[in-house]
């Protein structure tokens, strides 16, 4: 089956390439000019997007003198590769990484995927009175700015005694996200109802149908939810800043902010800016790797969601 799928994919690519060539032949030289200009524009845009990342990486291996040299040094010589290790150990980033991944990002991702899946399944596969009206209400909550909820939530979490813990950051994820509920609902509605009916005929309950039939077919959409949630948690700065005031429970974003503040004290820390760029590069790397390895599933989930409403 894998060989057949690969062969079919190759044939489809060849057919598409032949169609493009035939279309360009019909258009003549004007068509070739348009294609060349289009790809040139794409190359320029791609270069403009990659340039900040290259500057971050190159600055990470510079000396302090090279960072502030005008005109800028694009190719550091010799590169200071030890900056990565020294910068990572200049603060307690091992603890910050543990707090970010184990205490915050992973539980929040699990909670969001589980809660949004349950709610989206109810909105898409079950029939009950007031379902569509309540779904409109859920969608309306997307328009409520996070700043409006900031003070009331802080007061609630303070009354509960949750400050300086990860509970204010993790527990809300177990109550769903309106955007992800909408995304998963649209994906679930694209799955044929005959599959659910067949499972129910075999005696499966709604939860069994969801976990054994619907969710395995929804891996692309679930991957989108998981990746977005993990990225939001990984990069979150405002939440930990408000609810966590003890350094033992800081996350990576707070540690990076301390390095950023050190740039203003360059007389005390000569490598503050290269250290900041080095740590930023290390923190950015997992997101790139996650998207690189899950790229096909991620794009499939984005492209297929919302085809049926």
pLDDT given for residue 309 in this prediction: 44
Range in 116-130, 152-166, 216-230, 280-294 with the lowest mean pLDDT: 280-294
CA-nearest of 114, 131, 128, 134 to 207 is 114
Mean pLDDT of 12-19: 72
Q: Which residue has the higher pLDDT, 40 or 262?
A: 40
∠ CA 244-245-248, nearest 5°, is 85
| Beta carbons within 8 Å of 221's beta carbon, 6+ residues apart | 183, 184, 187, 301, 304, 305
Q: How far apart are CA 250 and CA 240, in angstroms?
A: 7
pLDDT given for residue 167 in this prediction: 94
- Rounded to an integer, what is the distance from CA 105 to the centroid of its chain? 11
For each of the domains in the chain, give its residue range(s) and CATH number, in order of start.
Answer: 2-60 (no CATH), 87-304 (1.10.3720.10)
B/e letters for 134-167, b = 16+ CB within 10 Å, e = fewer, are ebeebeeeeeeeeeeeeeebeeebeeeebbebbe
The pLDDT tens digits for 226-262 are 988 998 999 999 999 999 988 899 999 998 888 777 6
- Residue 196's pLDDT band (boundaries 50, 70, 90)? confident
pLDDT given for residue 270 in this prediction: 52
Which pTM value belongs to this model? 0.79
- Residue 308's pLDDT band (boundaries 50, 70, 90)? very low
Neighbours of 254 (CB within 10 A): 20
The pLDDT tens digits for 121-141 are 999 888 889 888 999 999 999
- The phi and psi torsions of 176 (rounded to 5 degrees) equal 85, 165
Neighbours of 23 (CB within 10 A): 11
- Residue 31's pLDDT band (boundaries 50, 70, 90)? low
Question: DSSP string of 214-263?
Answer: IHHHTHHHHHHHHHHHHHHHHH--HHHHHH--SGGG--HHHHHHHHHHHH
Mean pLDDT of 45-49: 89
Q: Is the pLDDT of residue 156 over 80?
A: yes
Cα-Cα end-to-end distance for the chain: 32
Question: To the nearest whole percent, how much of the chain has pLDDT over 90?
Answer: 31
| Most confident by average pLDDT, 47-56, 155-164, 276-285 | 155-164
pLDDT given for residue 1 in this prediction: 41
- Residue 171's pLDDT band (boundaries 50, 70, 90)? very high
Q: Are 270 and 199 in contact (CB under 8 A)?
A: no
pLDDT given for residue 155 in this prediction: 94
Q: Which residue has the higher pLDDT, 90 or 95?
A: 95
pLDDT given for residue 193 in this prediction: 86
Mean pLDDT of 106-113: 95
Question: To the nearest whole percent, how much of the chain has pLDDT over 70?
Answer: 84
pLDDT given for residue 307 in this prediction: 46
CA-nearest of 306, 142, 302, 160 to 227 is 302
Q: How far apart are CA 309 and CA 300, in angstroms?
A: 17
Q: How far apart are CA 106 and CA 104, in angstroms?
A: 6
- The phi and psi torsions of 164 (rounded to 5 degrees) equal 65, 30
pLDDT given for residue 2 in this prediction: 45
């Amino acid at each position: 089956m894998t060989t057949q799928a690969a062969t079919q994919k190759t044939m489809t690519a060849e057919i598409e390439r032949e169609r493009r060539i035939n279309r360009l032949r019909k258009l003549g030289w004007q068509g070739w000019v348009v294609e060349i200009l289009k790809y040139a524009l794409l190359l320029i845009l791609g270069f403009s997007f990659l340039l900040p990342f290259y500057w971050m990486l190159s600055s990470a291996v510079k000396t302090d003198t090279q960072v502030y040299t005008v005109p800028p040094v694009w190719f550091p010589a010799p590169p200071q590769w030890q900056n990565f290790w020294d910068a990572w150990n200049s603060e307690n980033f091992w603890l910050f990484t543990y707090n970010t991944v184990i205490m915050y990002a992973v539980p929040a991702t699990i909670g969001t995927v589980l809660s949004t899946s349950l709610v989206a399944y109810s909105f898409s596969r079950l029939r009950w009175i007031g379902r569509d009206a309540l779904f409109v209400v859920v969608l309306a909550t997307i328009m409520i700015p996070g700043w409006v909820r900031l003070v009331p939530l802080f007061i609630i979490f303070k009354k509960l005694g949750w400050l300086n813990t990860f509970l204010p950051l993790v527990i809300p994820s177990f109550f769903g996200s309106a955007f992800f509920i909408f995304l998963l609902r649209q994906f679930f509605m694209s799955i044929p109802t005959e599959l659910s009916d067949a499972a129910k005929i075999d005696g499966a309950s709604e939860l069994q149908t969801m976990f054994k039939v619907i969710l395995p077919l929804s891996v692309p959409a679930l991957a989108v939810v998981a990746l977005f949630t993990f990225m939001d948690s990984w990069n979150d700065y405002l939440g930990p800043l408000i609810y966590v005031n003890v350094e033992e429970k800081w996350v990576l974003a707070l540690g990076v902010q301390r390095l950023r503040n050190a740039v203003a004290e360059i007389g005390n820390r000569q490598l503050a800016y290269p250290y900041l760029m080095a740590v930023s590069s290390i923190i950015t790397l997992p997101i790139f790797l996650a998207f690189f390895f899950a790229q096909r599933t991620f794009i499939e989930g984005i492209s297929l969601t919302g085809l049926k409403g």
